[in-house]
Structure 1
Amino acid sequence: MKRLIPTLLLVIICIGGFWYASSKDFFKESKAPAASLVKVNKDEVASFTIKVADGEIELQRKDGKWTMSKPSPLPLNDYSADGWIESFNSLSKDKTVDANAADLAQFGLDKPSQQFKVTLNNGSSHTISIGAPVAIQGFSYAILSGSPEVFRLSDSQSKPLAMTPIDFMEKSPVKLEYDQIRSMSVEWKGQKWAITKTDTDKKAYESDWKLDEKVVKGPDANEYLSRLKFLSTEQPARPASGIKMNSPELKVEVKSVDASQKEITTVYLGKVEQDNVWFMKEGTEWAYAVPADSIQELANKDLAQPQAETPPAGLAPGTLMQPPTGIPAQPPTK
């Protein structure tokens, strides 16, 4: 019997090892990642076009910068345009439906519901056309230009390409670096206050600041600066030339320094229109519709104070709360 023990232990170890390997899929052949339908170098892309039911968007690259030619110009966030190309490069077919389709109408591809086209600097282009949805939810028929193959494409892959003009727009009208700020003044509907850094050799959150005649600590000063830095919009920007700024209700003046410690003064103006304030940096091309509530918060001289804890319902103000069961009450301090 003693001779059988080592053999039994070896059998148990082998069974355990086999079970562990099976649970980790060691015996399954790894599935190769799906190949991309198209692979383009983003630096060689001259333009791309999005055609959907709502209209057409076209972005062009000029002198290394993206511009929107359709439906109308907007200030663009370059990261969004580059991200769109990355999404285009990541497209891969789920399954071939018809390797040599003769009738595209049966797949809804004679009149595609969506088309995404990338044109390169050499004039060549690649277009993905998307047709009718497949019976299996979450997929649609699609075809690549220059190929007769109809394939199945996941809607989760095509959705990031169906962007709107506002998705490409730069939504933040203010760019600033906290540590470079020396002072900020805000004038809103006749009321004005200013905050000034007292120790310019320190970082913004380390230095004391002077709010009119009151001293505030760096973290509180950063909150005032953040109100300006994080202004944003969800509406299309307008050309600043179309906004009358002759009598603005808002004026923000920021004094900062550049890398050479040269002082720079930047002025922002705002004009009220219903529930928004058309906000712009003086001397620039675009104005942004910022919610009036955000501007009111920016103009508020006081920081929000933490709310005092309210006693439970039915407990009169000033009444001592009883401690939890088992903990003796402390006598009042004399």
Structure 2
Amino acid sequence: MVEAQTGMKKLIPTMVVVVILIAGWVYAANQNYFREEEAEQAKLLGISSADIQAITLHEGTEDKSGTGKGAGTDSDAVSTLELKDGVWHMTDPKDYPLNEYSVGSWLDAVSSAEQEMVVEESPKDVAKYGLGTAATRLDIKVKDGRDFKLAIGSQLPAGDAHYVQVNSGAVVAVKNDAVANIALTRRQLLDTTPFNMDESNVRTLEWEGEESSWMLKASAEGDTASEHSWTLNGKTIKAEDAISLSSQIKNLTTADDVRKASDLKNAIPRSTLSAQQQVNGKAVTGVYRLLTTSSEPDTIWVITPDGEWAYGLDAASLKEVEKYAEKLKTSTASSEPAK
């Protein structure tokens, strides 16, 4: 009898551990730590990108980074895009120029997103999933008149997916990669590069300003930029140096929303860039005006050739381009044979 009681006492700690483990497993399962019983993947919306006619993005303030370090944005910025005559336009807050590639990729991501599993079929409290007012939301209109309201919440405890809800339906899990391609910001959809150039098409770039003046020219021979012969102020330079200079200009991007050129007041001319390109057998020239304002001395505003938009560039970045051009001028001058 004593031996039996002693044996039972020895089993008690083991039984306590087993009970704790079972309770922990049940909690973890309820929190979706385990994914063994995932439902078969299904399309989140069941539409194609060609079906989408309009889409409104509410950026929200919920953290989508997965770092848990707080909100992803400071305010609920709202942007509306509409398809008109086969071309996407931003209609709210302004008709900002769009990056067609970025918009196309975004619509593909929205239409192709898949749900991994159903988390809760009939949720009564969506706030616990991050699907309250802080959520990123998309209001989508499609050709057949249907509307979809898609909300993206916080991450699942497992960290590999986000809670998502469509039209106040079930809360489902959507993989992080898919969410990252859907929950964009307005700036990610805008055309942020003012200089519309293709190095292979460039025939002449002429920069005129107080800090730097030069002319870069390409020969007509060759189909690519590396096959052209290049001169800077009439002196031969390497193709890679010419491509580097034009690429540095082309890749300058604005750090903020684009402005209407008419909104710039008391702007002072700084320099101009005239870009001549050969496009579909025709010579096309665009003149970009670079301006400064006393209120924003660290920003140089680039006015597009149509005179409609102003892109604010970091003055230091643009000065680096000017320094590089001056360096090329110096190197070509020093390489000239002495007379």
Residue 82 (1) aligns with residue 104 (2) = yes
CA distance in 1, matches of 2:255, 2:304: 18
What's the offset of the Cα at 1:277?
Answer: 1.0
Higher relative contact order (CA 8 A, sep 6+): 2
Structure 1 residues 297, 71: CA separation in 2 closer, same or farther (over 3 Å shift)? same
Question: Which of 258, 268, 274 pairs up with 2:297?
Answer: 274
The SS at the match of 1:81 is helix
What's the offset of the Cα at 1:171?
Answer: 1.4
Question: Which amino acid in 1 is paired with 2:215?
Answer: A
Question: Which of 185, 192, 195 pairs up with 2:213?
Answer: 192
- For residues 225-276 of structure 1, what are the alpha-carbon distances to aligned partners after superposition, in whole Å with 9 as ceiling and x for unaligned? 223222222321111222358741011112233333x433221111124222
Q: TM-score, normalised by structure 1?
A: 0.70
Question: Which amino acid in 1 is paired with 2:41?
Answer: A
CA distance in 1, matches of 2:165, 2:53: 22
- For residues 57-97 of structure 1, what are the alpha-carbon distances to aligned partners after superposition, in whole Å with 9 as ceiling and x for unaligned? 32211122222233333211122222222222233333323
- For residues 262-305 of structure 1, what are the alpha-carbon distances to aligned partners after superposition, in whole Å with 9 as ceiling and x for unaligned? 43322111112422211122224211112223322332322399
- For residues 167-219 of structure 1, what are the alpha-carbon distances to aligned partners after superposition, in whole Å with 9 as ceiling and x for unaligned? 1111111222334333221112264221233x423454344333224222333
Query: Which residue of structure 2 lines up, in the alignment, with residue 67 of structure 1?
Result: 89
Query: Which residue of structure 1 lines up, in the alignment, with residue 321 of structure 2?
Result: 298
CA distance in 2, matches of 1:190, 1:102: 64
CA distance in 2, matches of 1:196, 1:245: 34
- For residues 104-156 of structure 1, what are the alpha-carbon distances to aligned partners after superposition, in whole Å with 9 as ceiling and x for unaligned? 56666575733223211232112223456655545554432274x33344455
Structure 1 residues 247, 139: CA separation in 2 closer, same or farther (over 3 Å shift)? closer
Larger Cα Rg: Structure 1 or Structure 2? 1
Q: CA RMSD in A?
A: 3.2
Output aligned runs, 1:172-187, within 5 Å. Answer: 172-187=193-208
Can you give the 5+ residue segments of structure 1 that lack an aligned partner in the other structure? 1-30, 307-334
Residue 264 (1) aligns with residue 280 (2) = no
Question: Which amino acid in 1 is paired with 2:52?
Answer: V
Query: Which residue of structure 1 lines up, in the alignment, with residue 247 of structure 2?
Result: 226
Residue 97 (1) aligns with residue 119 (2) = yes
CA distance in 2, matches of 1:209, 1:141: 55
Cα pair 2:221 2:229 within 8 Å, conserved: no
The SS at the match of 1:232 is coil
Residue 215 (1) aligns with residue 236 (2) = yes
Query: Which residue of structure 2 lines up, in the alignment, with residue 34 of structure 1?
Result: 41
CA distance in 1, matches of 2:203, 2:151: 53
Query: Which residue of structure 1 lines up, in the alignment, with residue 274 of structure 2?
Result: 253
CA distance in 2, matches of 1:140, 1:207: 50
Structure 1 residues 104, 213: CA separation in 2 closer, same or farther (over 3 Å shift)? closer
CA distance in 2, matches of 1:164, 1:193: 38
Cα pair 1:116 1:129 within 8 Å, conserved: yes
Q: TM-score, normalised by structure 2?
A: 0.69
Cα pair 2:49 2:111 within 8 Å, conserved: no
Question: Which of 292, 297, 306 pairs up with 1:283?
Answer: 306
Structure 1 residues 88, 304: CA separation in 2 closer, same or farther (over 3 Å shift)? farther
CA distance in 1, matches of 2:201, 2:163: 53
CA distance in 2, matches of 1:224, 1:98: 55
CA distance in 1, matches of 2:213, 2:330: 21
Question: Which of 114, 133, 144 pairs up with 2:136?
Answer: 114
Identity over the aligned pairs, expressed in percent? 24
User: Is the helix fraction higher in 1 or 2?
Assistant: 2
CA distance in 2, matches of 1:221, 1:137: 46
The SS at the match of 1:296 is helix
Which is further off, 119-128 or 297-306? 297-306
